[in-house]
């Protein structure tokens, strides 16, 4: 009976691990070591990032200043496109992976923080979030583009990377502008 329970537990853990993001990718160990994510981890991270960026971009379009509204609109457009491209590769059988059906609680928590931020605090929540998210995305795409195990997805990661680097540059500029002194200037939240 004990052996049966151990086998059942091991099978359940392996099955769950195959469908979920690995611990090394989730904790950032792979990124710190420069290790390429598995195809499943890459697809999970990309899909989760896209869902988060689309939702955050919509919130920024409602609550952000002029620059954040513009940035948010671009995030919605660009991440909708990449999301559709990944879904097409998975649906077409070119990439063997399962797409997440919902956001993890950590991502949902970040979105809730944005929704609940006071207007005066929105930029302080959104801008650094975008820098961090795009630093993570650049790392992920660089690592998979360099040594991913699915040729089609690897080529797509390399092709998409310049746009993510551009997003990171824009996010850094948003955050830098937020940190500038505004004495005597109005905070333009139109």
Residue 2 falls inside a structural domain: no
Residues 128 and 22 sit within 8 Å (Cβ to Cβ) = no
Q: Nearest CA to 69 among 147, 138, 127?
A: 127
Backbone phi, then psi, for 107, in 5-degree steps? -70, -40
**Is pLDDT of 147 > 80?**
yes
Residue 187 falls inside a structural domain: no
Residue 114 falls inside a structural domain: yes
Domain hosting 135: range is 39-179
Residue 188 falls inside a structural domain: no
Residue 162 falls inside a structural domain: yes
Q: Nearest CA to 64 among 126, 109, 111?
A: 126
Q: Nearest CA to 100 among 14, 17, 20?
A: 20
Residue 12 falls inside a structural domain: no
Residue 43 falls inside a structural domain: yes
Q: Give the model's confidence band at 101: pLDDT under 50 very low, under 70 low, under 90 confident, else very high.
A: very high
pLDDT: is 21 or 143 the higher one?
143
Total Cβ atoms within 10 A of residue 127:
25
Residue 169 falls inside a structural domain: yes
Query: What DSSP line would sit under 141-159, residue for residue?
Result: HHHHHHH-S-HHHHHHHHH
pLDDT digits (tens, 9 = 90+) for 26-49: 545 555 556 789 999 999 999 999
Total Cβ atoms within 10 A of residue 147:
12
| pTM greater than 0.85 (yes/no) | no
Q: Per the structure block, which two tokens stand in for 187?
A: 């905070």
Mean pLDDT for all residues in the chain: 84
Domain count along the chain: 1
pLDDT digits (tens, 9 = 90+) for 170-185: 999 999 998 876 544 4
pLDDT: is 157 or 33 the higher one?
157
Residues 188 and 66 sit within 8 Å (Cβ to Cβ) = yes
Q: What is the CATH number of the domain that holds 62?
A: 1.20.1260.10
């Amino acid at each position: 009976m004990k052996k049966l329970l151990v086998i059942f537990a091991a099978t359940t853990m392996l099955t769950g691990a195959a469908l979920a993001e690995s611990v090394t990718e989730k904790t950032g160990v792979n990124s710190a070591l420069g290790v390429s994510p598995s195809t499943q981890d890459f697809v999970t991270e990309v899909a989760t990032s896209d869902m988060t960026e689309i939702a955050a971009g919509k919130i920024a379009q409602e609550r952000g200043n002029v620059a954040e509204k513009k940035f948010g609109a671009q995030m919605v457009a660009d991440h909708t496109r990449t999301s559709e491209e990944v879904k097409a590769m998975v649906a077409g059988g070119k990439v063997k992976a399962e797409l997440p059906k919902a956001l993890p609680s950590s991502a949902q928590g970040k979105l809730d923080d944005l929704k609940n931020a006071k207007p005066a605090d929105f930029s302080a929540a959104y801008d650094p979030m975008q820098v961090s998210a795009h630093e993570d995305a650049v790392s992920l795409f660089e690592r998979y583009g360099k040594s991913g195990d699915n040729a089609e997805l690897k080529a797509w990661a390399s092709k998409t990377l310049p746009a993510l680097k551009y997003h990171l540059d824009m996010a850094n500029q948003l955050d830098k502008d937020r940190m500038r002194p505004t004495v005597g200037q109005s905070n333009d939240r139109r």
